[in-house]
A and B are shown apart, each in its own frame.
Chain A
Amino acid sequence: MLVVVAMSGGVDSSVAAALLRAEGHEVVGVTMQIWPDEGLLRSERKGGCCAMGAVRDARAVATLLRIPYYVFQMREEFERHVIAHFAASYASGRTPNPCVACNEHIKFRALLQKARRLGADALATGHYARIGRSADGGLRLMRATDRRKDQSYVLHPLRREDLGYLRFPTGGMSKEEVRARARDMGLPVADKPDSQEICFVGPEGYAAVVAQHRPEAVEPGPILDVDGRVLGRHGGLAQYTVGQRRGLGLPGPEARFVVALDPERNAVVVGTAGQTYASACSVPRANWLVPEVPAVTTRLTAKVRSGPAEHPAVLAAAGPDGFSVEFPEPVRAVTPGQGCVLYDGDEVVGGGEIDAVRRSVPAAAGAGAAAI
């Protein structure tokens, strides 16, 4: 089998390539060049998907594994789908997850298409996730064996019809096992730290990237309470996210938290900790990873951000395009722009971008915060 492996220069994708090679497949390593050329020679950040460090490390691993290695120029698509969406989200009062956008448009669409153009039989990555068979014989996206490292959340935009083309060789391993394999094989990246930052944001910080594309997102505006009273000034919606406490600069002893972002009034709406909880959210544009849209009232679990936190969720509405869920136990800081991903046990049922949120503590009359 000819397999294209997306190599970031990190230990996970390096081991993925090594495992496939050891199984006897014809493996081709590729790195997506998504960073601007000016940053190419000078960026030396630790970890991170981008910069010459990634290419250098991936190429070194490819040489060791004796596999062909290529760099694909994908900056244009990346700008158009990931960076533009990143900035537009902040400008519309949302908090984006660019890894989700990249997976949807770049890694598992544009790059997947390139793999097909090469005549490859599969595309593999180092993601912690699994593809398994359900009782009905169909393929399912499942969370990884190592729940702390599970990345199935960011993989929710994968198309069901593409699952047969994908491989996640490290999805059944723990992080420690992966590093141990890398050491056994003498891979130079065995102890490379995991990337923590957004791959396309440099030392200038994410707000600078947003400001370049959507200056309105860094325009100062009012901080309001849920009743619409002006409490202070903020330095741009891009700097805030739902549930945030820092950076509000408000006087007074009581703790205040971002409850909503209102792009129409360019306002940050703050309230009590209780007011950051939500009892429902809607996802108008969802990707289903199961063959049948589940029935309303189905009980599932949901993640509303990347990380281990997961919540009981009841399907309140569901159709081919999207869904909404109710949270029997109110959830803190459900954030428009983040993904809401539904699980049935270990299987990913579907997910998409959160559009509207219903606060569990109702606002007073006249409040302008987003509601379902």
Chain B
Amino acid sequence: MTGHPCTTSDHDAIDALGRASGADAGTAPGSAGPVYLDHAATTPVRPEALAAMAEVYRSAWANPSSVHAPGRRARALLEQARRQVADLLEVAPERLVFTSGGTEANNLALLGAAGAAPARRHVVVSAVEHHSVLDAARSLERSGYRLSVVPPDREGRVAAAALGAALRDDTAVAALMLANNEVGTIQPVAAAAAGAAARGVPLLVDAVAAAGKLPVHAPALGAAFLTLSAHKLGGPQGAGALYVAPGRELAPLLHGGGQERRWRPGTENVAAIVGFGVAAELARRELADSAARLRTLARSLEAAILGAGCGAVATGPADPEARVPGLVSLAFPGLDGDALLVALDLQGVAAGAGAACTSGSVLPSHVLTAMGLPGAACRAPLRLSLGPENSDADVARVVAAVARAARRQAAVDAP
């Protein structure tokens, strides 16, 4: 209890403990290796994607804009990746702009669309959009735009008619995501896009949470702009794409060279984009089987936790078909959400909740709040998002860990 001298041998002791547990920044020593259920935050890189990226760094690292042979080799791989991502969306490759990720793609679409129609000073977004759309819209509001935010129903669904009703003659752009990243709700995008088109308003469809899990056919959806992110479907962080429908204009955010049809200048991150392409192709091929498997696994995971009598309630759509596959969205009314997530981490279960922020703590979810969930539920959300490598054994382990953590909290807090 009192301080005792901490000598260099203590430093060695700490080092040895670290090596023995295999910990980097600390998983609890003794845990059987983490089980990962946070695929909605990011996905492991597919080995095929990693191999393709390594090959780029090894032998195709030149600037794709260069005239010479090494540059043309890089260019060829870049354009192949573009075709692979375009095939996932069933669009022509020249309609795709590569960016640094989903956030940049959303910013480019929203701010770019507004910038291309400067006489229009109104923007419409759904209340459940990702922060990269909401915050970009709020930045427009701060510079004088009028902003309409359309609320969802209790299941997180935004009605196409509600979005349509918010449109005005001077609406520059509207945004409705294809699937919500927190509760998984699939939105009526095609109907919303049709309504927007009838009013002459382009619709931005953030498909980041949907791509690789649901079919995303941009022309069928009627999206004017559609975004995706590599690291949500087995590709690396650092690459995203924006689909721009024929005839649509964008004012670019970055200025520089002529890359990406001047919509997104800057030397391309060829390796990440190549990894993106490989992951996109794999996702397209595996989509049907993967979606079915994820739905089944998610259903059993959700049922087991709800049946464990540890205070969990399901949030989001009741109908599993109305949700993106693999996503289980729960809340534990009355519990401490921070402590729940940490307790899971200490048991080697990597799960998600709410929205991350820079300090790493959990902020109250704007999505759950918009859905009208009571505060007690909003304070302890839990998002379990499965991926192709998760097994029934993983599910069992997670259920046990969640039940243990929730029950211990309830016992500790009991008066």
Contacts and interface: CB of A to CB of B under 8 A. Distances in A.
Most chain A CB within 10 A, of B7, B26, B360, is at B26
Interface stretch (B8-16, B84-92, B258-266, B276-284): B8-16
Interface stretch (B217-225, B249-257, B288-296, B406-414): B406-414
B363 A37 contact: yes
A70 B343 contact: no
B338 A73 contact: yes
Interface in A54-98: 55, 62-63, 65-73
B361 interface: yes
Nearest to B362: A73
A114 B2 contact: no
B371 to A, nearest CB: 20
Given A37-B363, A117-B339, A169 B1 contact: yes
A68 B28 contact: yes
A67 B26 contact: yes
Contacts of B343: 117-119
Interface in A170-189: 170-173, 177-178, 181, 184-186
A33 B338 CA distance: 12
Contacts of A37: 357, 363
Contacts of A118: 339, 342-343, 346
Given A22-B10, A24-B17, A118-B343, A71 B408 contact: no
Given A65-B14, A118-B346, A113 B412 contact: yes
Contacts of A31: 359
A70 B338 contact: yes
A369 interface: no
Interface string B149-175: 000000000000000000000000000
B361 A171 contact: no
A131 interface: yes
Given A66-B26, A70-B342, A117-B408, A33 B2 contact: no
B6 interface: yes
Given A40-B359, A41-B358, A68 B345 contact: yes
A75 to B, nearest CB: 9
A169 to B, nearest CB: 5
A117 B336 CA distance: 9
Contacts of B363: 37, 73
A52 interface: yes
A130 B2 CA distance: 7
Given A62-B25, A131-B1, A185-B6, A71 B413 contact: no
Interface size class of A (residues with CB under 8 A): 35 or more
A186 B359 CA distance: 24
Contacts of B23: 66
B6 A66 contact: no
B13 A22 contact: yes
Interface stretch (A13-21, A234-242, A313-321, A335-343): A13-21
B3 A169 contact: yes
Contact of A19 (B6, B21, B28): B6
B13 A184 contact: no
A171 to B, nearest CB: 6
A167 interface: yes
Which interface residue of A40, A65, A178 has the most chain B CB atoms within 10 A? Answer: A65
B9 to A, nearest CB: 9
A28 interface: yes
B205 to A, nearest CB: 29
A55 B21 CA distance: 25
A116 B1 CA distance: 19
A69 B3 contact: no
B3 A19 contact: yes
B389 interface: no
B95 to A, nearest CB: 36
A24 B338 CA distance: 26
B3 A185 contact: no
Contacts of A185: 6, 10-11, 14
A63 B363 CA distance: 23
Nearest to B18: A66
A73 B361 contact: yes
A154 B3 CA distance: 20
A153 interface: no
A119 B48 CA distance: 41
Nearest to A65: B14
A40 B363 CA distance: 13
B369 to A, nearest CB: 14
B356 to A, nearest CB: 11
B412 A117 contact: yes
Contacts of B24: 66
A153 B71 CA distance: 70
A26 B28 contact: yes
Contacts of B336: 113-114, 117
B152 to A, nearest CB: 24
Given A66-B14, A117-B409, A28 B346 contact: yes
A52 B18 CA distance: 26
Nearest to B404: A119
Contacts of A65: 14
A277 interface: no
A323 interface: no
B26 A62 contact: yes
Interface string B328-371: 00000000101110110110000000000111111100000000
Interface in B373-415: 408-409, 412-413
A71 B1 contact: no
A114 B338 contact: yes
B320 interface: no
A257 interface: no
B27 interface: yes
Contacts of A15: 3, 6
A108 interface: no
13 contacts: A15-B6, A22-B10, A22-B11, A22-B14, A24-B13, A28-B346, A37-B363, A62-B26, A70-B345, A117-B408, A118-B343, A131-B1, A177-B3
Interface of A: 2, 15, 18-19, 21-22, 24, 26, 28, 31, 33, 37, 40-41, 52, 55, 62-63, 65-73, 113-114, 116-119, 130-131, 145, 167-173, 177-178, 181, 184-186
Interface of B: 1-8, 10-11, 13-14, 17-18, 21, 23-29, 336, 338-340, 342-343, 345-346, 357-363, 408-409, 412-413
Closest 7 CB pairs of A and B: A172-B2, A22-B10, A66-B18, A68-B26, A71-B361, A73-B361, A173-B3
